[in-house]
Amino acid sequence: MMKTLPAGCVFSEMKSPVGELPIIASDAGLHALLWPKDREGTGCEEIVRSLKVSDNHPVIKKTKTQLEEYFSGMRFMFDIPLVMDGTSFQKLA
């Protein structure tokens, strides 16, 4: 899964109907929106714990707002900038 993240990434969590959702973002956009189980036994937890917590980062705030709208049935499309990390092959999908 996640092995490294660029400098400047921040982390926050959001309560949702599907559980606590970890959100990782930077000024470039959203790097990861994880399922609660993604943090278990994958090394992901170490990466998440190394990040600065920021509930006020603009991408984090926009992600939380749009997810809240989605879960309340008011949003069907998202316009959050995504950062597509991965190998060239992984980015083809």
Q: Is the pLDDT of residue 40 over 80?
A: no
How confident is the prediction for the chain on average, in pLDDT? Answer: 87
Non-local (6+) Cβ contacts of 55 within 8 A are 12, 61
Whole-number percent of the chain with pLDDT over 90: 61
pLDDT the model gives residue 89: 78
- Phi/psi region, residue 41 (left: phi>0; alpha: psi -120 to 50; beta: rest), is left
> What is the pTM (predicted TM-score) of this model?
0.84
Contact 34, 24 (CB under 8 A): yes
91 or 69: whose pLDDT is higher? 69
| pLDDT for 46 beyond 70 | yes
8 A C-beta contact, residue 21 and residue 13: yes
Give the chain's domains with CATH numbers.
Answer: 10-81 (3.30.160.70)
For the cut 80, the answer to whether the pLDDT of residue 3 exceeds it is no
Cβ atoms of residues 83 and 28 within 8 Å: yes
